[in-house]
Chains A and B, each alone.
Chain A
Amino acid sequence: MTMPPFLRAAAGPLKLMLQDRLAVIGLCVLGVIIAMALLAPMIATHDPRQINEIEDGSVLVRGTDTWELSESLGPLALNDADHRGNEALIVGREGTVWERDGDDWRRVQVPVAADLHAVAFGPQAGALIVGDSSTVLAQVGEGWRVIDPPRPADLRGVAWIDPDSALIVGAGEEIWRLDVASGDITEIDSPVGRGFALASVARDTDGTLLAVGARGLAVRYDPATGAATLDRLGSSRDLNHIHIAPGGAALVVGERGTLLRRDGPEARWQTDTAPDTRALRAGWIDDGGRAVAVGRNGIAMEWDGDAWQLATTESERHLRALLIEGDRWLALGSDRFVTRLAPPSAEHWFGTDHLGRDLYSQNVHGSRIALLVGFLGATLVVLIGTNVGLIAGYYRGRTEAVLMRTVDVMYGIPFEPFALILVLLFQPSLLIVILAVSLLTWRTVARLIRSQVLSLRERPFVKAARVAGASDLRIMYLHIFPNVMPLVFLELAIIVGVSIIAEATLSFLGLGPPHSISWGGILHDARLSGAWRTAWWWNLPPGIFIMVTVLSVFFVSRSLEVVANPRLRARQ
C-alpha cells in the first residue's frame, strides 16, 4: 500500500527531527508531560482538592516571644501530661506513654492500646493513667499494672485524694474512688445523674476534689463525707480542664474561649474575657499571678495580670495539654489538624498550600488543562490560519484583500487585554478560554502560509494540475497543502507554546476555566493568599512545569524550522 502524499510529507519532517539532539530531548520531555497528564490520577499521591489532615504528637515550647514547634513525639496525639520533681509523663492516643529520660523522652510500653486521656503523679510515689475502655493503669515500680474496672466507661480525668487513693471521672458522669494499693473501685453517685460528661478533676486546697464537665457542670467530692455535691462556677459551657495551684488559685477552661479563674481558696470564681473564642483544652495557673491556656488551632493565651493576651504560636496544631515546670513551658497536642503550608516532605513531595491541599498532586493534575488548552487552541489556530492563508494566497484578488485586511485589523488588537475582556464579559469557561487564546493568534499563521502559497501557486506542478482539469479545492488541498505542511507543523509547535503560556496567564489572573486545577491557577492561589512570599515550594514548581513544557515545545519547533527551511539545513 502506498502512502498518500500528505502522509509522506508528514513523515519526512519526523525523520529529520530525530537527527536533532535538542529536538529529541524536547520530544522526550513533552512525552513525559503528556504521560503525566493522561495518567494524572494514578501518578498523583493525593486528591488535589482534598484538604489534608494529619495527627502528630506535637510539642510546642514557649520561647522568648512565641511558642516554637519542637521535635514531635511520635505520630499520635498527646492528651495530658504531669510531673513530680524530675519525673514527667505524657500520655496520648492508642496507649501512648512517654517518660522523661534525661533531656529526652522515652516511649514506655503499657499493656493497653486504648486512648489515654489523663495522667497524675501521686503525692509521694506512684502514678495513675486513665483512658477509654475503662483503662486504669497504676505505676508499680518500673512497670504498669492494669486495674480491673467495675464496668465499661470512658475515663477522662484523674486526681489523687491522698497517697493511697485517687478520684477518677468519666464521660458518662462516672465518679470512681480508687484504692490504689488494692485496686478496689468504689462508684460514687453523682448529684446530677443525667450522664453528663465529666472531663477533668483536680484536688483543692481544703482536701476536697473538684471535677468539671459538660454544660458547666462542676461536682465537688468530699473524701471526709464520701459524698459528691453540685458546685457552681458561673458558666454553662462545656468545660474541658481544671487546674488548681497549691495556694488555691484555680483555672477552668472550656469551649468557645471559656476561662473561669479563682484567685485564692476563698475567692469567687470569675469569668474572664478571652481574646479568642475557639475551644480551650488545657489551662495552668500558679499563685504568683501567672496563667496560661491553650486550645484548638494553636491558640495559646497568657494572663498578664490584667487581661488574657493571645500569644503567637508557630503552628495551627490543636493543643490539648500543658506541662509547666518552672520556666520550661510545653504545650502538647495534636489530634488531626490541617497541614497548611507544610514544606516538602515524604508525605507531601511539593508541600501543601494554605488550605492543606497537596501541591504535588495539584501540579500533576495541572498538566491536563495546560496541554488540553495548548493543543486544542493551537489546532484551532492552525486550522483557521492555514485555511485563511491558503484561500487568500490561492484566489488572490478581492478575496485576498478582504482576508488580509482582516489580519491587519487583528494586528491592531493587543492580545492579552482582548483575551481578558472576552473572558470577563462571557464568564470563564473552557470554551471561552480556548477561544480567547486562539481568536487573535491565527493572524501570524495566515500571513506566513499566504506568502508561502503565493510562490507555490506559480510552480509548474500547480499549473500542470490545473491543465489536467483539477478543481480549485483539489489543487489547494492535495497539491499545495502538502508543500506547506512543514510550515504548518512549525507554526503548530510554536503556537502550542504560546497557548500554554496564554492559558497560564488567564488562570493566573483568576480567569481560567472554573473549578479546574492548572499551573497558572496554583500561582493565582499562591498570590491571592499572600503566603507565596514565604512558601517557595508553592510557586516554584508550577512555573518550572510551564517553562519546561514550553521550552521542550520550542526545541521541537526549532528542529521543525530546519525542516521547513532547507537553507538552515544545508548550513548545519
Chain B
Amino acid sequence: MSRRTYLIKRVFQAILSLWIIATILFFLFRMGLPDPTAALITEGLNPEQREAVRAQFGLDQPVWQQYFLFLSNAVQGEFGTSFSYRAPVAGIVWERLANTMILMLAAIVLAYGIGVPLGAWLSWRRGSRVDTAGIFVGLMFRSAPMFWTGMIAILIFGVTLSLMPTSGMRTLPYDAVGFWDKVLTLDFLWHAVLPVMIVALYYLGSPLLIMRNTMLEVYGEDFIEMARAKGLPERDILYKHAARNALLPVVTQLAVTIGLAAGGQVVVEVVFSWPGLGREILNAVRTSDFPLAQASFLIMAAFVITLNLFVDILYTTLDPRVSFR
C-alpha cells in the first residue's frame, strides 16, 4: 500500500469514526433526555419560545428526521443557542477548547520534557536507590487522583503559604480582547502554574517508566556493545546511542496522550475553576443545557480524532519502519 492510499484511507476512517460517534451521541441524548426543552420551563420560557426551540432542533418531527437535521446542522457547524448562556454554542465551545488545550499541552510538554531525560538517567543508574525512588515517585503521582493532589496543592500553596492563585485563568476582573490577549500575560502564567504542575506530575510517570524500560532493553543490543568496545564515554553511549533508539515507544505514548488531550482533565478544571471544555460539559449536562453539552462533546470528539489523525501521519513520517496497514 502506498503512502498516498494509506493517507486517504486513514482520513476516510477518521470521518467514519466521527460519524459513528455523532450517531452514538445523538441516540444517547435522545434516550437520556427525551425532551430537552423540559428544563426550559423552569427557566421561565413561555410556550411559544419553547416551541421555537423545539422547531430549531426538530423535536416535533420523527426521530430519524431529527437525526438527519442533527447531522446536517453539525456538518454546517450550526450547533444552536446555549440555553444558559443565551449565546451561540460554537463560540463558547471553541473558547473553552482553547483553554483546555493550553493547559493540557503545557502540562504534556513539561511532563515529557522532564520525564524522558529523567527516565534515561534512571536507566543508567539502574538498581540504585535513585532508580527505585524515581520509579516510586513516578508511580505515586500516577496513582494519586488529580483532584486530590490539586486540592492538596491548593491547600499548601494557595491557602497556607498564600503564594499562588488557586482558581480561574486570570485575576478578576480583567478585560482581554481575544484569546491571546488573555493568555500572553504574567497574570495568566501565574494562574497556570498550579494546574499545569498537577497535570504534569500525573503524566510524568509514563514517559519516565517507558523511557527507563526501553533504555534497559536497548542496552542489551549489539550496537551498544559495539560502542563500548570502541571505548566511547558512557555519557555519549547513553545519550547519543541508546536514548535515540529508545525514543520510539515514548513517542507512541506521547501521540496517544496528545490525541486524548482535548478530553482534558475534567477534575483539574473543576478543582482549579479552569474554564475548560470538560468543566463546561459537566455544567451543561447538570443544568440540562442540551445544545451546549451535545456540541461540546461532538467538537471534543472531532478534535480528538483530528489530533489522532495528525499524530498517526506524523508518526509514519518519523519512523519509516511503520508499515502502512
Contact = CB atoms under 8 A, between A and B. Distances in A.
B31 interface: yes
Interface stretch (B66-74, B169-177, B278-286): B278-286
A510 B143 CA distance: 21
Interface in B25-75: 28-29, 31-33
Nearest to B141: A547
Nearest to B219: A571
A515 B270 CA distance: 22
A382 to B, nearest CB: 20
Report the contact-size class of chain B (Cβ under 8 Å from the partner): 35 or more
A contact face: mostly helix, strand, loop, or mixed: helix
Interface stretch (A94-102, A122-130, A411-419): A411-419
Contact of B143 (A417, A497, A509): A497
A416 B280 CA distance: 13
A425 B263 contact: no
B155 to A, nearest CB: 7
A527 B21 CA distance: 33
B324 to A, nearest CB: 15
A508 interface: yes
Contacts of A408: 13, 17
A553 B139 CA distance: 11
Interface string A398-418: 000000010011011111111
A546 interface: yes
Contact of A546 (B145, B159, B266): B145
A421 B28 contact: yes
A413 B20 CA distance: 11
Interface stretch (A316-324, A449-457, A532-540): A532-540
A543 B144 contact: yes
B165 to A, nearest CB: 14
Contacts of B142: 550, 554
Nearest to A497: B143
Report the contact-size class of chain A (Cβ under 8 Å from the partner): 35 or more
Contact of B148 (A411, A523, A553): A523
Given A425-B285, A543-B144, A536 B155 contact: yes
B32 A420 contact: no
B264 interface: yes
A426 B297 CA distance: 17
B32 A425 contact: yes
A532 B153 CA distance: 12
A421 B144 contact: no
A383 interface: no
Interface in A519-550: 520, 523, 526-527, 532-534, 536, 539-540, 542-543, 546-550
B216 interface: yes
Interface in A53-89: none
A425 B36 CA distance: 11
Q: Give the one of B20, B266, B300 with max A CB within 10 A.
A: B266
B193 interface: no
A551 interface: yes
Contacts of B281: 417, 420-421
Contact of A412 (B21, B264, B282): B21
A505 B147 contact: yes
Interface stretch (B87-95, B112-120, B224-232, B301-309): B301-309
A96 B277 CA distance: 62
Contact of A417 (B16, B140, B213, B300): B300
B82 interface: no
A536 B154 CA distance: 11
Interface in B143-185: 143-145, 147-149, 151-152, 154-155, 159
B21 A409 contact: yes
A504 B21 CA distance: 26
A567 B217 contact: yes
A414 B263 contact: yes
Interface string A544-564: 001111110111000000000
A554 B143 CA distance: 8
A153 B151 CA distance: 57
Contacts of B220: 571
B323 to A, nearest CB: 14
B99 interface: no
Contact of A509 (B149, B270, B297): B270
B192 interface: no
B105 interface: no
B304 A539 contact: no
A416 B33 CA distance: 20
B262 interface: yes
A508 B264 CA distance: 16
B contact face: mostly helix, strand, loop, or mixed: helix
A568 interface: yes
A424 interface: yes
A462 interface: no
B143 A546 contact: yes
B201 interface: no
Contact of B300 (A411, A414, A571): A414
A413 B140 CA distance: 27
Contacts of B140: 547, 551
Nearest to A554: B139
Given A409-B20, A539-B155, A416 B149 contact: no
A148 B79 CA distance: 87
A539 B144 CA distance: 13
Given A505-B267, A508-B267, A551-B143, A414 B260 contact: yes
Contacts of A536: 155
Contacts of A532: 151, 155
Contacts of A547: 140, 143-145, 148
B18 to A, nearest CB: 7
Contacts of B18: 412
B293 interface: yes
14 contacts: A412-B17, A414-B264, A414-B300, A420-B281, A425-B28, A425-B31, A425-B33, A505-B145, A509-B282, A527-B151, A532-B151, A533-B154, A553-B143, A571-B216
8 tightest A-B CB contacts, nearest first: A414-B263, A425-B32, A543-B148, A550-B143, A424-B285, A551-B143, A547-B144, A412-B305
Given A405-B17, A413-B304, A543-B144, 17 more contacts: A409-B16, A416-B265, A417-B297, A420-B278, A424-B282, A426-B31, A504-B147, A508-B147, A523-B151, A527-B271, A534-B159, A546-B148, A548-B143, A549-B143, A550-B143, A553-B143, A571-B217
